[in-house]
Amino acid sequence: MLDLFKKVFLLGLGTTILIEETVEKIADDLVKKGKLTTEEAKKLVTDLVNEAKKDIESIHQKGIEEAEKVFAGLHITTKKEYEDLEKRVRDLEKASRDTKSSGS
């Protein structure tokens, strides 16, 4: 599951970089044609890239939420649940040992 999230993250990162490069190229072309000033182009790139990042993050978060629903439906234990159970077992074992040693 972690590998899937890593791949999704890298896909989002790659998409963001591609969008930024494409928007910069278009903005540069508009500056060369005199349709935008350099400052307007910079603002356009910043605004569009920020918007794309928000959209990608939203999609990423929705993907995580959907994956969690799927795994919950399959009754697969999460890493946190597993670690919590390990701690409970260790605590119970310690309590059991303590009870046995105080009873002897």
pLDDT by residue (tens digit) across 75-103? 888 888 899 999 999 999 999 998 888 86
Same domain, 27 and 52: yes
Are residue 53 and residue 103 in the same domain, yes or no? Answer: no
> For residues 72 and 29, which has the higher predicted lDDT (pLDDT)?
29
Quickly count: other Cβ atoms within 10 Å of residue 41's Cβ.
20
pLDDT, mean of residues 19-25 = 90
In 3D, which of 28, 14, 7, 21 has the Cα closest to residue 49? 21
Residues 41 and 84 in one domain: no
Kindly report, residue by residue over 34-48, the tens digit of the pLDDT.
998 999 999 988 998
Residues 27 and 63 in one domain: yes
User: In the prediction, which pLDDT does 71 show?
Assistant: 76
pTM for this predicted structure: 0.54
Do residues 71 and 8 lie in contact, with contact meaning Cβ atoms separated by under 8 Å?
A: no
Q: Which range marks the domain in which residue 85 is found?
A: 77-104
- Domain match, 18 and 62 both: yes
Q: Are residues 60 and 95 in the same domain?
A: no
The domain tally of the chain equals: 2
**pLDDT of amino acid 37:** 93
Task: Let me know whether 62 and 81 are in one domain.
Answer: no
Based on the domain organization, do 65 and 90 belong to the same domain?
A: no
Which of these, 79, 25, 26, 15, lies nearest to 52 by C-alpha position?
15
Polymer length in residues for the chain? 104
Q: Is the dihedral of CA 72, 80, 82, 6 positive or negative?
A: positive
